[in-house]
Amino acid sequence: MDVAKLVAVLTASPQSLSEIYGIGNVHGSRLPLVQIPTTAGTGSEVTNISIVTTGATSKMGIVAPQLYADMAILDAELTIGLPPAVTAATGIDAMVHAIEAYTSKHKKNPLSDGLARQALGLLSRHLIRACENGQDLAARQAMLLGAMLAGQAFANAPVGAVHALAYPIGGIFHVAHGLSNSLVLPHVLRFNAQACAEQYAELAAIVVPHAAGSTAARAEALAVAMQQFAAVTALPRTLSQVGITAGDLDLLASEAMKQTRLLGNNPRPVARADAYALYELAL
Ligand SMILES: [Fe+2]
């Protein structure tokens, strides 16, 4: 879908790919664009973002209003063959979009909040079902709708430190995007809870409605619930399991700090030492 966005833009433009990296650098219009996801994860069918691999370990982002599609089609039949591990990882990515939009520092608003809450409800109620029975069309359709709503949420209120820490894991070690997110997610949630426990507690009421106790306890319940999704769906849960060692953490921390576009959205500032410590917890 991200390639299709760029093809639609570049085919109709004298600009080259390298000229449109960054935010707002696309000039002119594009060809008609219809986006049809085959995973319930990225939400790219409704975002104005394209992420493109530019080298062995590098990716670049293009953000421009021209990248919004004319139409998105959500057809659950197209996700039926998705293996459980991919269903789980992409579904957790979509949940991260909702969670990070809900706690986004600058652009969080009532509209993005509503989208994020609706997305998280659909995704959290149907992820296990879709993983356990890939043929469950109703669960698949709910996942697609949830991922799309989460995409609209973070197109309004952009994602933060989970994605900032996940990008180098994907870029350098070629770990899939959803799994990269899942590996750092619980640690970033606990780190951020100092700044946004109230918001996490509100989301816990959606994901784990039985959670009770103090605001901090309900925020912790959200982190535990997200860890449970990875455990129940048998995803790797540590960086070690995907081949990352203690010697790699310096490089990861340095690369994560370059994700300034994302880190600026995080509810709590992330210093380099914080990034290193978070990777260490995830190891
Ligand atoms: Fe993502």
Does residue 89 share a domain with residue 33?
Answer: no
pLDDT of residue 55: 85
Tell me, yes or no, whether 194 and 277 share the same domain. Answer: yes
Torsion angle (degrees, nearest 10) of CA 148, 202, 139, 112:
-10
Query: Which portions of the chain are predicted below pLDDT 70?
Result: none
pLDDT at 261: 86
Domain final residue, candidates 55, 72, 89: 72
Identify whether the C-beta of residue 200 lies closer than 8 Å to the C-beta of residue 218. Answer: yes
CB 282 within 8 A of CB 205: no
Residues 112 and 57 in one domain: no
d(CA 223, CA 188): 9
Residue carrying structure tokens 């995080």: 266
Instruction: Please tell me whether residues 108 and 237 are part of one structural domain.
Output: yes
Residue 123 has a pLDDT of 98
For residue 100, the CA-to-ligand 1 centroid distance in Å is 10
Pair (100, 53) in one structural domain: no
Number of domains in the chain: 2
Residues 245 and 107 both lie in one domain:
yes
Residues 264 and 131 both lie in one domain: yes
CATH code (residue 47):
3.40.50.1970
The CATH number that applies at residue 235 is 1.20.1090.10
Q: How remote is the CA of residue 14 from the centroid of ligand 1, in Å? A: 30
CA 193 to centroid of ligand 1, rounded, Å = 20
Listed residues: CB within 5 A of ion ligand 1? 93
Which of 20, 39, 72 represents a domain boundary (last residue)?
72
Residue 21: how many other CB atoms lie within 10 Å: 14
147 Cα–ligand 1 center, Å? 10
> 50 alpha carbon to ligand 1 midpoint, in Å?
11
Range of the domain at 38: 2-72
Beta partners for 62? Answer: 22, 50
Residue 167's pLDDT is what?
Answer: 92
* pTM > 0.85: yes or no: yes
